[in-house]
């Protein structure tokens, strides 16, 4: 079995919701990172066996975004593409899928990545409109149910949070934040702790951005404007240098607990991609791998307590790879919510000193959370930071809607 290695890792800068990237279709975002990923290592697109992209909010304007993106990039029609969705876990799961293709001998070079334009997520009519206007039940207020007009029109982002699990089994979960509040109660996470974590996330991300740490990994995007010249978007839009504990403390809890807009992740736009190939192929091409894929594991739990999937996935991948938390030089835990991260660290048995190697350049609270892009974006940043620090092992883990979790261990190849 051939080992899978990552030889290139790029991303766009992350755009805020309805921000600089709002006019760029998802397939064009993805096309940009696909092309940059192969150009940086000097391989031609026709050498790629398959493109595996993740997108959680696909729409009718670009179905199978993997195929649409590679064609938009001008790649040969002979290159195939597939699109996956495991909600927030998607961007790391595509790397898992790519590694499996390589390890099983079905491919030698795979480009894997994630893309999301939450600014362009659809409002849509459900298929039941075909045989009867209206519905048997409405959705929670604010979820786009316009039943008073006889036609239910849904916001795909809001609706997906409810419909990631069957209502008849789990009831209505009005948002992902509901399980973060459960995590805070069960693990005794305070509002003050959440705000302090959020402040540190912004501080780290702002410092990394100001010091140019993200420059190497970011692919500038040229965005045409309705009037005037095009703009070049190359800096993350979401980190806030003005963030303070005082400002965070003034924000009202959304559900009456500890979670606020300030200590939770945001809705964003962006794309990221990595080139995964067999170790044998990388040697043939004279490429120096950034890291070897040691192992990636997925886990599931009650969707009402989705935070439990992080420690479950981490335990599973450590068992698979015979590694431990103590061996991890850098750790990335996706910040869906500060309450969730703090609960997960506690579940994983991490001590306060471990936090020095967790999310060292910020995460979802500061850098944003373009759902299917996130797992790849985090990996791109992790791999570049591992190289800067000469770190041997990196861990990435994410929890997602529907009670899903994923964790991956990566080893720098010297």
- Active-site pick, 88, 89, 259, 373: 88
CA proximity to 270, closest of 126, 412, 57:
57
Residue 386 β-bridge partners? none
- Name the residue with tokens 């092309």: 35
Instruction: Assess whether 88 carries a catalytic annotation.
Output: yes
Q: Number of C-alpha atoms within 13 angstroms, CB side, residue 379?
A: 42
Q: How many other C-beta atoms can be found within 10 angstroms of the C-beta atom of residue 333?
A: 25
The radius of gyration of the chain from alpha carbons, rounded to an integer in Å, stands at 21
231 three-state secondary structure: strand
Degrees to nearest 5, angle at CA 329 with 327 and 331: 105
- Active-site pick, 89, 206, 259, 399: 399
CB-CB contact of 233 with 219 (8 Å)? no
Structure tokens at 124: 């849509």
Instruction: Assess whether 399 carries a catalytic annotation.
Output: yes
Instruction: Assess whether 384 carries a catalytic annotation.
Output: no
Structure tokens at 387: 């190289």
CB-CB contact of 367 with 385 (8 Å)? no
In angstroms, rounded to a whole number, what is the distance separating the alpha carbons of residues 148 and 259?
31
- Name the residue with tokens 């997925």: 298
Structure tokens at 278: 């067999």
- Active-site pick, 143, 206, 259, 369: 369
Degrees to nearest 5, angle at CA 248 with 350 and 22: 95
Residue 354 β-bridge partners? none
In angstroms, rounded to a whole number, what is the distance separating the alpha carbons of residues 138 and 115?
30
Catalytic residues: 88, 369, 399
């Amino acid at each position: 079995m051939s080992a899978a290695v990552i030889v290139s890792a790029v991303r766009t800068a992350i755009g805020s919701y309805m921000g600089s990237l709002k006019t760029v279709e998802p397939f064009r975002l993805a096309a940009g990172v696909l092309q940059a990923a192969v150009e940086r290592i000097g391989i031609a697109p026709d050498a790629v066996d398959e493109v595996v992209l993740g997108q959680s909010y696909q729409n009718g304007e670009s179905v199978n975004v993997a195929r649409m993106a590679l064609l938009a990039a001008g790649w040969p029609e002979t290159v195939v593409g597939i699109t996956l969705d495991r909600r927030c876990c998607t961007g790391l799961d595509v790397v898992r899928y790519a590694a499996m293709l390589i390890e099983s001998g079905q491919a030698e070079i795979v480009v894997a990545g994630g893309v999301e334009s939450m600014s362009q997520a659809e409002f849509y009519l459900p298929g039941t409109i075909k045989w009867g206007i209206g519905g048997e039940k409405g959705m929670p207020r604010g979820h786009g149910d316009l039943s008073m007009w006889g036609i239910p029109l849904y916001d795909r982002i809001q609706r997906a949070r409810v419909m990631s699990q069957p209502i008849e089994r789990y009831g209505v979960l009005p948002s992902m934040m509901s399980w973060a509040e459960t995590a805070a109660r069960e693990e005794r996470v305070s509002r003050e702790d959440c705000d302090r974590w959020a402040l540190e996330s912004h501080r780290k991300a702002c410092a990394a951005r100001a010091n140019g740490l993200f420059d190497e990994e970011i692919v500038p995007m040229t965005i045409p404007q309705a009037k005037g010249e095009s703009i070049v978007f190359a800096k993350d839009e979401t980190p806030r240098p003005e963030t303070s504990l005082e400002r965070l403390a003034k924000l009202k809890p959304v559900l009456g607990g500890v979670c606020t807009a300030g200590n939770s992740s945001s809705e964003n736009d962006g794309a990221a991609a990595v080139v995964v190939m067999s170790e044998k192929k990388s040697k043939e091409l004279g490429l120096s791998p950034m890291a070897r894929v040691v192992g990636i594991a997925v886990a599931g739990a009650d969707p009402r307590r989705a935070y439990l999937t992080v420690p479950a996935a981490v335990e599973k991948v450590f068992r698979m790879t015979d590694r431990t938390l103590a061996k991890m030089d850098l750790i990335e835990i996706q910040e869906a919510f500060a309450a969730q991260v703090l609960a997960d660290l506690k579940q994983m048995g991490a001590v306060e000193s471990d936090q020095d190697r967790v999310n060292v350049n910020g995460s979802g609270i500061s850098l944003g959370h373009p759902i299917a892009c996130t797992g790849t974006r985090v990996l791109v940043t992790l791999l570049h930071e591992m190289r800067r620090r000469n770190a041997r092992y990196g861990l990435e883990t994410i929890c997602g809607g529907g009670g899903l979790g994923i964790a991956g261990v990566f080893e720098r190849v010297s």
